[in-house]
Amino acid sequence: MLTQQDKGAAFAALHERPEAFIIPNPWDIGSARMLAHAGFKALATTSAGFAFSMGRGDGAVGREQMMAHVSAIAGATDLPVSADLENGFGDDAETVTATIALAADAGAVGGSIEDVSRRPQARIYDLSHAVDRIRAAAAAARALPFRFMLTARAENFIAGRPDLADTIARLQAYQDAGADVLYAPGLTTLDQIATVVRSVDRPVNVLMGLPHVALDRAALSAKGVRRISIGSALARAAYGELLRGAREMGERGTFTFADRAASSRDVTALLEIGGGGTGLEDGSPAR
């Protein structure tokens, strides 16, 4: 097993590559292991995806339970894990400082802090207060005995305030406050993204998996993006299949949704359960 110091160094090195890397977001241990088998080099948690799996809405999971989730994902594979820490689970800088330390204790080697109060209010913080929070988070990250990549998030575009100039000003301020990675979720055009990348001198993370946004890794890399995450997109895709199957059964009484399902053998192999497989043929139903 790699040490946290090894993982931290490996995660930091990914941001120095000339092309963007994709950091997918599992929502449980099984999805984390599947993504590791798929060849990705790092993983990021998704607060929304995990909340959905717990039967709750985004923002409805407390810090203690979220830290247990981060620990489970970090322990599921040997990959570096960056934690979705929402707004640090508190408005004040002291709480954010404690959250960074807890995420590191849980096994994360990176984490993101938003500049918005917890949902459903999602109120954008005044810039000076937001900067104080990032400065505190950066100090906590620097105090750790391994490299911890702090991502500062400017939430304007997903909090109903699509102000690109203010978003850039915030990212620049968070850069000066010590953030390692900058992130403005909700940008949807290459022009917006390229403008952000040109305006800062830190690696930029871009959120993909948004409806009707047809950008790919090659196009984003060409604009200087260094990291691509997908938030709750994979979780929502999985739940979308569940809902379509439920509707088919309930409305038509048919079961063709199972034609698209992964086989029990394939899933078992990806999860590394049992060593010898299930004994089921591909396409056979699970017992």
Identify the residue whose tokens are 């918005």: 116
Query: Quick one: pLDDT at residue 62?
Result: 96
Q: Could you tell me the residue ranges of all domains in the chain?
A: 4-232
H or E segment to which residue 132 belongs: helix 127-142
Query: Quick one: pLDDT at residue 286?
Result: 39
Query: Quick one: pLDDT at residue 232?
Result: 97
Low-confidence ranges of the chain (pLDDT < 50): 273-287
Query: Quick one: pLDDT at residue 272?
Result: 74
pLDDT tens digits for 105-134? 999 999 999 999 976 677 999 999 999 999
Tell the CATH superfamily of the 4-232 domain. Phosphoenolpyruvate-binding domains (3.20.20.60)
Query: Quick one: pLDDT at residue 277?
Result: 33
Q: What percent of the chain has pLDDT over 70?
A: 94
Query: Quick one: pLDDT at residue 276?
Result: 34
